[in-house]
Structure 1
Amino acid sequence: MSERRFDGKVVVVTGGGSGIGAATVARFGREGATVVSVGRTAEKLKRAAAEAPAGSAVVPRVADVADESSITALIADVAEAYGRLDVLVNNAATAVPGTVEHLDAAAWRQVFATDIDGVFFASKAALPQLRRARGCIVNVGSVSGLGADWGLAAYNSAKGALVNLTNAMALDHGGEGVRVNAVHPSLTRTSVAEPIFQSEAVLDAFRQRIPMQRAAEPAEVADVIAFLASSDARFVNGAHIPVDGGLSASSGQPRMF
């Protein structure tokens, strides 16, 4: 790719050590951005940074988005070091399986602390810098926030909350020059989803539901994130883009003909 849409831009990607986050770091790095890759595990961040395209400016930084002081300090450090912040990608997330009956309060809070509190903390800290740069936020949601799954009550609830948080921020900050959008992947080939790929029966069930009959690759989600962050999407605000191979196009009924 010869186009470098993010030359001179500074991008923060949370959950940048693996999966969609690492692919997003690589995509912005390839297009000329200085990318601050944020996560809780230094080794994962360093490994992902080393795998970014040659010449990429990737800066691994350890911080926990669920800890307001941690992520606020990191955003302040980025602003001081580079004098600007153009894009925040809220990608960090976690999931704990269970129904409402079987989840305990600690598991519920664990999911919300990362998946919603983390987005709130990072966005709140970044907004003054994004306003000055007329930058943007891209939230990484999930098709599990657009509809529910069996046995994922906490994750479904958190990702559902992310949908309307995205809407609220788009309304509140779009007039200030800060666009806020979200992508919503379905099954994606990441280490977190690895148990699914070890079960041919489960994979076959996904193939029956996804019209393109396969999982997404992390880079395919990262491509859409980069689009939303670019000037190509300069009048896109409050959008929710499913990156799901057509899964959400279905009524949910089984194939009949």
Structure 2
Amino acid sequence: MMRFQDKIALVTGGRSGIGQAIARRLRDEGARVFTAQRSQDTEFEWLPADFTDPTSPAQVVTELVSRAGRLDVLVNNAGLMQESSVEAMSCEDWQRNLMVNLTAPFLMIQAALPYLRRTQGSIVNVGSIEALGSNPGHAAYCASKAGLHGLTRAVAVDHGAEGIRCNAIAPGWIDTDLNVDFIESMPDPVAFRRDIARIHPVARTGKPEEVASLVAFLAAGEAGFCTGQIYTVDGGRTAKLSLP
């Protein structure tokens, strides 16, 4: 299936993890894919970006359009998670988390809208199930991802008549390199894997490629009536009530 033949896609944070899986899926379906992050990407065309800098998003979009001439798909995937209690978190750290997870996607969308308007393009934001519930010590992450879900709906409402769709996905536990390394750092990784599988009705954690499949669907024309929605990808975790 080549749903993105002759299309230009931009994936922020596309060098690793979920972002890399998304970039690969879009490429495999015909897109010319650019990734944007601090580190150089040897697999895709790379746009250097520092999403703690509010000038970076516009620079990324300008450079992409100068090289590719258009933009069809924007995936806001780059993110930051910092563990801290509310009392212990400084205002500076709070603002940095909101900048990367919420303000940078806002600025990316703002810069991309004129070009997406021309192509009847699509935006997919990578939120989190932590916009719906919280793990301990994740106040800034939860707040920023909840804001991203709200931004998704607002963009869909404001720009739907222009042919621009905006959706978000809310992944749960996905086996990225970071999460796999975390499991391996546990005193008993086998027991930890067993315990975390138990909280998922599908009895396992997710794969980055499974998230990428949904992103590709939402970005493609066949999802033309899907906009302003948050799609949870968590193996049923948030649907399952805890035992007494």
State the aligned residue count: 240
Contact 1:196-1:202 within 8 A present in 2 as well = no
Structure 2 residue matching 1:16: 3-state secondary structure: coil
1:16 is aligned with what amino acid? Answer: G
**Residues 44-63 of structure 1 correspond to what in structure 2 (within 5 A)?**
45-46=41-42, 49=43, 58-63=44-49
**Residues 11-26 of structure 1 correspond to what in structure 2 (within 5 A)?**
11-26=9-24
Q: 1:178 is matched with which residue?
A: 164
Q: 1:253 is matched with which residue?
A: 242
C-alpha distance in 1 between matches for 2:66 and 2:30: 20
Please report how far the alpha carbon of residue 69 of structure 1 lies from its aligned counterpart in structure 2 after TM superposition: 1.9
C-alpha distance in 1 between matches for 2:107 and 2:177: 26
Render the CA deviation track for 1:207-250: whole Å, top value 9, x for unaligned: 22111121111111111100100011011001111111111222
Task: Show structure 1 runs of 5+ residues with no match.
Answer: 50-57
Please report how far the alpha carbon of residue 79 of structure 1 lies from its aligned counterpart in structure 2 after TM superposition: 1.6
* Stretch of structure 1 that moved more, 187-196 or 116-125: 187-196
* Stretch of structure 1 that moved more, 66-75 or 157-166: 66-75
Which of 209, 216, 220 is the aligned partner of 2:199?
Answer: 209
* Stretch of structure 1 that moved more, 104-113 or 158-167: 104-113
Structure 2 residue matching 1:181: 3-state secondary structure: strand
**Residues 1-257 of structure 1 correspond to what in structure 2 (within 5 A)?**
3-42=1-40, 45-46=41-42, 49=43, 58-198=44-184, 199=186, 200=189, 201-250=191-240, 252-254=241-243
Please report how far the alpha carbon of residue 36 of structure 1 lies from its aligned counterpart in structure 2 after TM superposition: 0.6
Render the CA deviation track for 1:62-105: whole Å, top value 9, x for unaligned: 11233232221120121222221000000000100011012222
The TM-score, its normalising length taken from structure 1, stands at: 0.89
Please report how far the alpha carbon of residue 195 of structure 1 lies from its aligned counterpart in structure 2 after TM superposition: 4.4
C-alpha distance in 1 between matches for 2:238 and 2:30: 33
Render the CA deviation track for 1:95-143: whole Å, top value 9, x for unaligned: 0001101222222122111000111111110011001100010000111
Contact 1:148-1:156 within 8 A present in 2 as well = yes
C-alpha distance in 2 between matches for 1:178 and 1:242: 21
C-alpha distance in 1 between matches for 2:50 and 2:194: 36
Please report how far the alpha carbon of residue 169 of structure 1 lies from its aligned counterpart in structure 2 after TM superposition: 0.8
Task: Show structure 2 runs of 5+ residues with no match.
Answer: none
C-alpha distance in 2 between matches for 1:77 and 1:152: 34
